[in-house]
Structure 1
Amino acid sequence: MQRSPGIKAWLGLTVILGPVLLVAMDGSILFLAMPRITDALAPTADQSLWILDIYGFAVGSLLVAFGNIGDRYGRLKLLLIGTLLFGLASAGAAMSPNAEMLIAFRALMGMAGATLLPSALAVLSELFTDPRRRAQAIGIFASAFAAGFAIGPIVGGQLLSYFWWGSVFLVNIPVIVLFLIFAPILLGEVKVTRPGRVDVLSVVLSAVGLLLAIYAVKNLAAEGMSVFSAAAGIVGLVILVAFARRQRHLEYPLIDFGLFRDRVFTIAIITGLLPLAAWSATAYLSGVYLQTVLEMTVFQAAMLAVPGALVLTATCIVTPMVVGRIGTRAALITCHFAITAGLLLFLMTGVTSGAGWYVGAMIVAGLGYGISFAVVADVAVAAVSTERAGSAAAMAETSNEIGNALGIALLGSLAALIFRIMGPDLAPTLNETAELPGLGSAALSEAKSAFVTGLHAVVIVAASVHAGLGVLALRWLPKTDPQAPEEGEGTADAGPVAPKTEEVGTA
């Protein structure tokens, strides 16, 4: 009953990749732009982190809800509305007169981005019904998503070499216009009837709980312990527990926690979360390191990111073909140990030199990041029936987006805390310290040293987590992926996770 996709399906995939690239790119495009934004808008240390974080939090908090909405009410309709809103919010962000307005428009961009990813991946899974072709298409989708994260700082750096800081948002507009023109032509409306309504209370609980918990961590790092931040953290955790408990009793939950009974699915979703946390934190801190510690131009810093971005993107493309031969287990293990090795290379960076070690670290870690992007998406889509493709895709993308936001919030806050403790105590961030009038060379050297110490602490923590996950995958996952050609034609060639479809879907 499976048919080969025609030219319209591949053209449809090309159209879908536009907004996917933008949503991913806007998660990282500010890494090199933040020093310029700091000069223009003078945000506080806390506001700087929110400018970076709020986008990922908004996307991650609402992905599951919008995945369910698309499944019920129409995915193309949601894609078009979300893309239009994304464009309007991008224009607003570019014209923001102060940090507060920029944070608000970044939040609106995140809300719009949450409508795009799950519906785009669900539409893709229906354009390509053959498991093998679907795996190839998802590999391309994952490559675009990974490329967006990887080239975001590069694009931002290039734009800032010629234009003002708002140009990093206006670059979205041409792609959005093209999508709004061609999507109605190449993508038909896909509406899968699912009973039940989206549980609004679950949406509110997940979003509010996450924001409160992360705010507590960020405030602790930036300002130290306070009654308010401690209370916010406790309330946030209680709300998240209530959300999880509520899902167990809903007939149509936003998150089907039963899927996590499958070990491969569980490790894959964790693999979607943590590599993005490590990548986003190190990419952001590295941008500051290259520009402020090593005193490079934004263009020079952007060019140093190119080799790692190329490796990451190429790995995404190759992974579906390789995983079809070596299995999901081997891919997941390789992913975590490659990231561990790459992160540890950051320990060789110093106050006066380290650009070469940065490039090497991003290349080695890029292998692991690329595997994580490619494997997680296909596992999620293959794990469920067609009518749940949007919500399953949302789980995969949620792990990516929350990982991106958590990396900056948690690991970035760790770096900020160490700088606050070990720095010269003249300003809360390295950039603000470096711009103080009359700053002596000794104080600047102390500030740079404190920042590098914070960077090293972050990579040690992230590398330790990935090493632990690699060991867990090595011990926990079955040594061979189940291969069952008798369950359906083409199963053996279905790609990295097609053999798991029926097993996971009935967990």
Structure 2
Amino acid sequence: MTSLDLVAERADRRAWLGLVIVLGPVALVAMDGSVLYLAMPSITSAITPSTDQALWILDIYGFVVSSLLIAFGNLGDRYGRLKFLVTGAVVFGAGSAGAAFAPNPEILIACRALMGLGGATLLPAGLAIIGNLFHNPKQRSQAIGIFAATFAAGFAAGPVIGGLLLSRFDWGAVFLINIPVVVLFVVFAPVLLREVRTSNPGRVDALSVVLSAVGILLAVYSIKTAAAEGFSLSQIAIGVVGVAVLVWFARRQLTLEYPLLDLRLFKDHVFAVAILTGLLSLVAWAAAGYLSGMYLQSVLGYSVLTAALLALPGAAVLTAACIGASGVVDRIGKRSALIASHFFMGFGLLLLLLTTTEHGVAAFIASSVVTGVGYGFSFSLVADTAVAAVPAERAGSAASIAETSNELGNALGISLLGSLAALLFRLTGPDAAGTLDETLDTRGLSPATAEEAKEAFLTGLHVAVGVASALCLALGILALRWVPKEETPPSEPTPDPESMTATH
């Protein structure tokens, strides 16, 4: 079958069913990134973790996922993506079952790490295998948009689903809901999906696998430790070692015939801007979501579930934007859609500057709706660019770069911009405690001091989202300069050369 044949070939029912079965684990991985925040009070009461252990329960999953995405995306290219998908789902399910019945913090932390190990295989392998299911460029863009929308919707729906479960069941329920989805996937994936691997995989460089995992883990750990506990000599040393390991990793990739991370991909300005968009969109999303969630609960006094419900309009728009991004690209082109995503995010974030200590729900919903358009476009375009801009045999590696930029953006958003907001709170607040919640829980707190604390938190929120907005707008201007105009109409398909071997 020729490349032109593949362009004309439209996906059959089996391909769409394959997409549906892949979306189940993807939604679970995304939801697990947000559902646990609501469960932590119940977990703390049940197994009494220390402060450090509570942080590890929350963070170990993200640490493991972000540190292994590049390595597992590459290994999936070489040894088979379906094999990685099924294995990852089984590991994720086993970790979920263990976490649900963990009798102590140590076992829960270990099970969360096991879930991260499985999650790191699911995202890049799932995205790459979807790219192989849909050979028609338009349908492939639609499928990748649905993939991105599912990931975004899973993350946004996590607090709502968690709130509903925790209102009826014990904390272990937030992990047990993963099991039925995993079982269905393991049963049907081998029937609906085909094994895909590169035709010329080359040698796996074990040192690169270790360097990428260790470097990302140490760097992200250093940032999160600084955000939670402040700067220290040991924290800085860990960060320096992490950066040094990543530099070593990057230099090594330039000398390998089969690199784990093909840095030459970044010579393409479109690809580079898209990956920066993936990073920055998650920085803005994570910081705004974290800070505005605290604002709704601690400043305006809404319950956790109500605050999650108020976020649903933005989540719905985000999901629709992900799915509809391919249609927008058909009309205005990928360049215009990518640039528009930055300006939707930038101007939408500015709407949060209208919030006050007494009123702000309307501004929050308007901000989440406007930014949701930008986030949706960016999530879909980043994934599509990562897969479509590279040879088919490098699809898993490109997908892992896109997903890693999202994971790191999520961590950096809360760590850096959250830390900036916390610093401003300490500088301008009443100095009764280190955070807004601790201040409001102080016994004998006067109404004037509580109001001063809320104003200080709002100052931090406004500065943090202002910085995020400025970064988004600046990258939009950079995209205007860097990303060339399309030479052909955006609806005109380009051949998608097939360089994979597929076996049933």
TM-score normalised by structure 2 residue count: 0.90
- For residues 248 and 82 of structure 2, the distance between their equivalents in structure 1, rounded to whole angstroms, comes to 32
Is the counterpart of residue 262 in structure 1 residue 268 in structure 2?
yes
Is the counterpart of residue 233 in structure 1 residue 223 in structure 2?
no
- For residues 51 and 441 of structure 1, the distance between their equivalents in structure 2, rounded to whole angstroms, comes to 35
User: CA deviation digits over 1:330-375, x for unaligned, max 9?
Assistant: 1111111111111111122222321221111111100000001110
Is the counterpart of residue 356 in structure 1 residue 355 in structure 2?
no
Report the equivalent of 1:482: 487
Change (3 A) 1:443 1:283: same
* Selected match of 2:218 from 212, 226, 231: 212
Change (3 A) 1:451 1:23: same
User: CA deviation digits over 1:426-468, x for unaligned, max 9?
Assistant: 5443334444455444444343333322222221111111111
Contact (CA 8 Å) 2:266, 2:272: kept in 1 or not?
yes
Contact (CA 8 Å) 1:323, 1:331: kept in 2 or not?
yes
* Selected match of 2:419 from 406, 413, 422: 413
Tell me which moved more, 153-162 or 313-322. Answer: 153-162
Change (3 A) 1:54 1:12: same
Change (3 A) 1:48 1:410: farther
User: Aligned letter for 2:165?
Assistant: L
- For residues 43 and 437 of structure 2, the distance between their equivalents in structure 1, rounded to whole angstroms, comes to 11
Cα deviation, residue 300, structure 1: 1.1
Report the equivalent of 1:202: 208
Change (3 A) 1:381 1:344: same
Change (3 A) 1:189 1:225: closer
**SS of the counterpart of 1:204?**
helix
* Selected match of 2:463 from 457, 461, 471: 457
Cα deviation, residue 401, structure 1: 1.7
- For residues 467 and 107 of structure 2, the distance between their equivalents in structure 1, rounded to whole angstroms, comes to 34
Contact (CA 8 Å) 2:66, 2:217: kept in 1 or not?
no
User: Aligned letter for 2:377?
Assistant: I
Cα deviation, residue 98, structure 1: 5.5
**SS of the counterpart of 2:198?**
coil
Cα deviation, residue 208, structure 1: 2.2
**SS of the counterpart of 1:469?**
helix
User: Aligned letter for 2:304?
Assistant: V
User: CA deviation digits over 1:126-154, x for unaligned, max 9?
Assistant: 11122222122112212212212222222
User: Aligned letter for 2:478?
Assistant: L
Q: Which runs of 5+ in 1 are unaligned?
A: 485-490, 503-507
Is the counterpart of residue 29 in structure 1 residue 28 in structure 2?
no
Contact (CA 8 Å) 2:18, 2:193: kept in 1 or not?
yes
Tell me which moved more, 211-220 or 282-291. Answer: 211-220
* Selected match of 1:111 from 106, 114, 117: 117
**SS of the counterpart of 1:28?**
helix
**SS of the counterpart of 1:246?**
helix
Q: Which runs of 5+ in 2 are unaligned?
A: 498-504
Change (3 A) 1:8 1:44: same
User: Counterparts in 2 of 1:342-381, with a 5 A limit?
Assistant: 342-381=348-387
Cα deviation, residue 85, structure 1: 1.1
User: Aligned letter for 1:121?
Assistant: L
User: CA deviation digits over 1:171-222, x for unaligned, max 9?
Assistant: 2222112111211221132233433333222222222222323333333343
**SS of the counterpart of 2:359?**
coil
- The total of aligned residue pairs comes to 491
User: CA deviation digits over 1:299-322, x for unaligned, max 9?
Assistant: 211210110010000001111111
**SS of the counterpart of 1:29?**
helix
User: Aligned letter for 1:296?
Assistant: Y
- For residues 435 and 172 of structure 2, the distance between their equivalents in structure 1, rounded to whole angstroms, comes to 22
Is the counterpart of residue 185 in structure 1 residue 191 in structure 2?
yes
Change (3 A) 1:462 1:22: same
Report the equivalent of 2:492: 493
- For residues 341 and 488 of structure 2, the distance between their equivalents in structure 1, rounded to whole angstroms, comes to 22
User: CA deviation digits over 1:17-51, x for unaligned, max 9?
Assistant: 11111112222223555566566666677666554
Is the counterpart of residue 66 in structure 1 residue 72 in structure 2?
yes
User: CA deviation digits over 1:478-497, x for unaligned, max 9?
Assistant: 2x21328xxxxxx9433xxx
User: CA deviation digits over 1:360-392, x for unaligned, max 9?
Assistant: 111110000000111011111111222222111
- For residues 429 and 103 of structure 1, the distance between their equivalents in structure 2, rounded to whole angstroms, comes to 26
Is the counterpart of residue 161 in structure 1 residue 167 in structure 2?
yes
Cα deviation, residue 124, structure 1: 1.1
User: Aligned letter for 2:190?
Assistant: P
- For residues 212 and 421 of structure 2, the distance between their equivalents in structure 1, rounded to whole angstroms, comes to 27
User: Aligned letter for 1:166?
Assistant: G
Report the equivalent of 2:478: 472
Contact (CA 8 Å) 1:335, 1:369: kept in 2 or not?
yes
Contact (CA 8 Å) 2:352, 2:363: kept in 1 or not?
yes
* Selected match of 2:399 from 383, 393, 397: 393
User: Aligned letter for 1:206?
Assistant: S
- For residues 123 and 408 of structure 1, the distance between their equivalents in structure 2, rounded to whole angstroms, comes to 31
User: Aligned letter for 2:388?
Assistant: A
User: CA deviation digits over 1:259-292, x for unaligned, max 9?
Assistant: 1111111111111111011111221222222222
Contact (CA 8 Å) 1:160, 1:298: kept in 2 or not?
no
Contact (CA 8 Å) 2:63, 2:221: kept in 1 or not?
no
Tell me which moved more, 356-365 or 91-100. Answer: 91-100
User: Aligned letter for 1:219?
Assistant: T
Contact (CA 8 Å) 1:161, 1:298: kept in 2 or not?
no
User: Aligned letter for 1:483?
Assistant: T
Contact (CA 8 Å) 2:33, 2:155: kept in 1 or not?
yes
Alpha carbon RMSD of aligned pairs, Å? 2.5
Is the counterpart of residue 224 in structure 1 residue 230 in structure 2?
yes
User: Aligned letter for 1:493?
Assistant: E
User: Aligned letter for 2:488?
Assistant: Q
Is the counterpart of residue 248 in structure 1 residue 254 in structure 2?
yes
Contact (CA 8 Å) 1:53, 1:409: kept in 2 or not?
no
User: Aligned letter for 1:302?
Assistant: A
Report the equivalent of 1:55: 61
Contact (CA 8 Å) 2:134, 2:140: kept in 1 or not?
yes
- For residues 22 and 310 of structure 1, the distance between their equivalents in structure 2, rounded to whole angstroms, comes to 18
Contact (CA 8 Å) 1:336, 1:467: kept in 2 or not?
yes
- For residues 70 and 415 of structure 1, the distance between their equivalents in structure 2, rounded to whole angstroms, comes to 39
User: Aligned letter for 2:204?
Assistant: V
Amino-acid identity (%): 60
**SS of the counterpart of 1:493?**
coil
User: Aligned letter for 2:486?
Assistant: D
Change (3 A) 1:108 1:324: same
Contact (CA 8 Å) 2:88, 2:122: kept in 1 or not?
yes
